Amino acid sequence: MLIQAADRLQRLPLQFFSNLVAKANEYVRQGYDVINLGQGNPDLPTPPHIVEALREAVLDPATHRYPPFSGMYELKVAMADWYKRYHQVDLDPETEVAILFGGKTGLVEISQCLLNAGDICLVPDPGYPDYWSGVALAGARMVMMPLRREHDFLPDYSALSPEDVRKAKLMFLNYPNNPIGAVANETFFADTVQFAQKHEIVVAHDFAYGAIGFDGVRPVSFLSTPGAKEVGVEFYTMSKTYNMAGWRLGFCVGNAEVIRLINLIQDHYYVSVFSAVQRAAVVALTSSQECVDELVRTYENRRNLWIQGLREHGFDCIVPGGSFFTWLPVPKGYSSMDFANRVLEEAHVVIAPGVGFGEYGEGYVRIGMLAEEQRLQEAMKRMGRLNM
């Protein structure tokens, strides 16, 4: 029997990095010492007090039952309180907080909630490829917003086609940014709210790296902007702040109608996240945040070491203001793919070609600072020996 995939699956973007990962794994299989800086997988463990909270919760038979469909109310309260403490944002736990199976899930779901076939979604370029997946599943069309170095890697709304803006229903933003590490300020978000209000566009701000800011500057929440809740939502995840990547827990917060729609679609997909994970997340959000402060110090030390080392080897470095990524212009004469391939083949260091994040990622590579300092120093030395 011939099995035919539904049209929506045919529209999904190709997994650009699968070939790179396969190639890296082949070098590992051959016995090479490969340093993988090409992925966004946190390398440090979940703090012990959060792990202990999970252990205790797992031992409670009450957590073995189905949790409430939309998640535990106490976790929603903890998330709302966290936003109030750190971003001075008021959230109604019942109507303005949705619990997600990881931030990625919500970023895909929101397009299916808001977009019909043929609708336009404004998407940053370069940007996180899973934005594309949700738009494709909805049968909608993407209009890319170039993020250029000369514009501080912020989209220029005035450069967009008036016709595209008129038809747009949804816009993705992401600061601190993946893959660039750029950050946004209050002025940009105020302009964004004004733009969204004028054109009736829902803003979906991906705040996955919201706790990771450098040089004493905490990243700005889009929702802290006056009027932001009227036009959009923000996505947060436990993965980056608390090294809970494998736990698959995130949030969508903000506009109550969008939250209602997110909960509606999730009612048909899931019966919420395992209660023990939710209980542990409450502990993470409400207990001492020294583990988060220590994590940010670790990433900042890695950033400083990495940037200094690359500059000593002659590379032009863009200093990230947040996240755990660096965005490196490739040497003259190379495409991003050619450069990434040479670094893998000759230095046995995995880095991500920028073109995998969009057309305007060409000419750059993304490097994750997700290895201990000794390994980062080794990666620098290997790349320096390439004499590019």
Which residues touch 40 (CB under 8 Å, ≥6 apart)?
178, 324, 325, 368, 370
Decide yes or no: CATH 3.40.640.10 for domain 60-286: yes
Give the model's pLDDT for residue 23. Answer: 85
Tell me the mean pLDDT in the region 113-142.
Answer: 96
* In the predicted structure, residue 19 carries a pLDDT above the cut 80: no
Structure tokens at 103: 């931030």
Phi, psi of 153 (to 5 degrees): 60, 35
Report which of 215, 253, 240 is spatially closest to residue 87, judged by C-alpha positions: 253
| Over residues 315-322, mean pLDDT | 92
CATH code for residues 7-45+290-384: 3.90.1150.10
Q: What number is the average pLDDT over the span 77-105?
A: 97
DSSP labels, 230-274:
HHEEEEEEHHHHSS-GGG--EEEEE-HHHHHHHHHHHHHH-S-S-
**HSE-CB of 29 using CA atoms within 13 angstroms:** 6
Calculate mean pLDDT across residues 369-374.
95
Cis status of the peptide bond prior to 176, with omega within 30 of 0: yes
> What would the mean pLDDT of 139-148 be, rounded to a whole number?
97
- The answer to whether 375 touches 350, Cβ cutoff 8 Å, is no
Q: Report, as an integer, the average pLDDT of 372-388.
A: 91
Is the pLDDT at 16 greater than 90, yes or no?
no
Average pLDDT over residues 296-322: 93
Mean pLDDT of 193-212: 98
pLDDT in tens, 328-341: 999 999 999 999 99
- CA 262 to chain centroid: 18
Q: What was the pLDDT predicted at 271?
A: 82
> 225-229 long-range contacts, Cβ below 8 Å, gap at least 24?
225/186, 225/189, 225/190, 225/192, 225/193, 226/190, 226/193, 227/193, 227/194, 227/197, 228/189, 228/193, 228/203, 228/254, 229/96, 229/254, 229/255
**Domain range list for the chain:** 7-45+290-384, 60-286
- Which parts of 44-201 fold into alpha helices (H)? 48-58, 73-87, 103-114, 130-138, 162-167, 186-199
Q: Is the pLDDT of residue 300 over 80?
A: yes
pLDDT for 39: 86
> Which residues are CB-neighbours of 342 under 8 A, at least 6 positions away?
334, 386
Residue 207 confidence (pLDDT): 98
Look at residue 54 and tell me whether its pLDDT is greater than 90. Answer: yes
Nearest to 96 by CA among 205, 253, 266, 265: 253
CA distance 71 to 278: 8
| 7-45+290-384 and 60-286 agree in CATH topology | no
pLDDT band at 245 (very low <50, low <70, confident <90, very high): very high
User: At residue 24, does pLDDT exceed 90?
Assistant: no
**Residue 21: predicted pLDDT:** 81
C-alpha to C-alpha distance for 53 and 301, rounded to whole angstroms: 29
Which band of pLDDT confidence, cut at 50, 70 and 90, is reported for residue 316? confident
**Spatial CA neighbour of 337 closest among 19, 122, 41, 78:** 19
Kindly state the greatest CA–CA separation across the chain: 61
